[in-house]
């Protein structure tokens, strides 16, 4: 059964969809909004207790003025896990959501998170691998960098309804506030990943040009217990372009990392 709840941390209301039963899974969307993980959420709800928040400031939700960084959001989500007395949590994050997941694990002093899945995540700076300046791309550039098959997913802005364009522009404005400076990374995060012992699976579309598989490999190596799986014929959102392959890898990691004795 799907429910919506408003969870408060200080003056931060979080809109959350909740469905399914079993091990808790927190599913965090990226800059494209909750629609980018909707199919994955539906799939996970059949096998797990799936919690899918809308980050404050996305899709018309309220973002308080103090919420200006990804670490703020990560701490708020950790606080909500504590309030709900959830443990043995698998956190799955796509793109920006993967960054939030990594920050959560780095701050998880109580060990509530026992597994991570980062899907084409941003959040760190690694060697010569750069993160494409998403804000500098036009619609065609976004498609070319984000998808294995850009022609299939490209939408001419002239064909997008005005309400949808307004939603997208507002989402991008929020992302710029939270992740624009320094651009799409926390300078301190990479060195903290080695202390995270929760098994981290990094899933990467082989055709991602926002953050390449080389970036993903360096990200995975930085974890205390990290592993990279590259998904063929997929770009930045493999859960959309190659859902069956992506879901199978997430399901296997869900089973592999479960610790029923820690569930409450």
Buried b (16+ CB within 10 A) or exposed e, 165-176: eebbebbbebbe
123 has a pLDDT exceeding 60? yes
Of 8-22, 54-68, 82-96, 212-226, the poorest mean pLDDT is in 8-22
Q: Residue holding tokens 């791309």?
A: 137
Joined together, the tokens standing for residue 158 give 């002239």
- Residue 6 is predicted with a pLDDT of 39
Put residue 123 in one of left, alpha, beta given phi > 0 → left and psi -120 to 50 → alpha.
left
* Residue 158 CB-density burial (10 A; 0-12 exposed, 13-18 middle, 19+ buried): exposed
* E runs forming strands in the chain: 3-9, 12-19, 24-28, 49-54, 89-94, 113-119, 200-205, 226-231
Question: How much is the average pLDDT of 234-249?
Answer: 98
pLDDT band with cut points at 50, 70 and 90 for residue 261: low
* Residue 163 CB-density burial (10 A; 0-12 exposed, 13-18 middle, 19+ buried): exposed
Question: How much is the average pLDDT of 163-184?
Answer: 95
pLDDT tens for each residue of 6-36: 344 555 778 999 999 999 999 999 999 999 9
- Residue 3 is predicted with a pLDDT of 37
pLDDT band with cut points at 50, 70 and 90 for residue 259: confident
- Is 121 or 260 the better-scoring residue by pLDDT? 121
Express as a percent the part of the chain with pLDDT over 70: 94
Question: How much is the average pLDDT of 126-146?
Answer: 94
- Is 105 or 129 the better-scoring residue by pLDDT? 105
Joined together, the tokens standing for residue 137 give 């791309």
Question: How much is the average pLDDT of 187-196?
Answer: 96
* C-alpha dist (Å) from residue 167 to 130, 154, 190, 242: 28, 17, 32, 26
């Amino acid at each position: 059964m799907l429910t919506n709840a408003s969870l408060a941390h200080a003056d931060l209301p979080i809109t959350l969809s909740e469905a399914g039963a079993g091990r808790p899974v927190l599913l965090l969307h990226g800059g494209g909004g909750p629609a980018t993980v909707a199919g994955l959420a539906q799939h996970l709800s059949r096998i797990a207790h799936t919690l899918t928040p809308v980050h404050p400031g996305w899709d018309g939700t309220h973002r308080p003025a103090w919420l200006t960084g990804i670490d703020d959001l990560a701490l708020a989500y950790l606080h909500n896990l504590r309030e709900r007395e959830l443990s043995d949590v698998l956190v799955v994050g796509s793109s920006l959501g993967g960054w939030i997941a990594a920050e959560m694990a780095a701050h998880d002093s109580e060990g509530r998170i026992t597994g991570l899945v980062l899907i084409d995540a941003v959040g760190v700076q690694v060697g010569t691998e750069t993160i494409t300046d998403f804000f500098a791309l036009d619609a065609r550039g976004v498609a070319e960098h984000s998808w294995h098959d850009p022609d299939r997913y490209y939408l001419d802005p002239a064909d997008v309804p005005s309400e949808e364009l307004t939603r997208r522009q507002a989402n991008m404005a929020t992302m710029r506030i939270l992740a624009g400076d320094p651009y799409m990374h926390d300078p301190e995060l990479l060195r903290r990943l080695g202390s995270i012992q929760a098994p981290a699976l990094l899933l990467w579309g082989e055709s991602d040009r926002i953050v390449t598989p080389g970036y993903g490999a360096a990200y995975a190596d930085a974890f205390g217990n990290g592993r990279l799986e590259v998904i063929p014929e997929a770009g930045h959102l493999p859960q959309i372009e190659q859902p069956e392959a992506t879901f199978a890898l997430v399901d296997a990691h869900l089973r592999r990392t479960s610790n029923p004795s820690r569930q409450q």
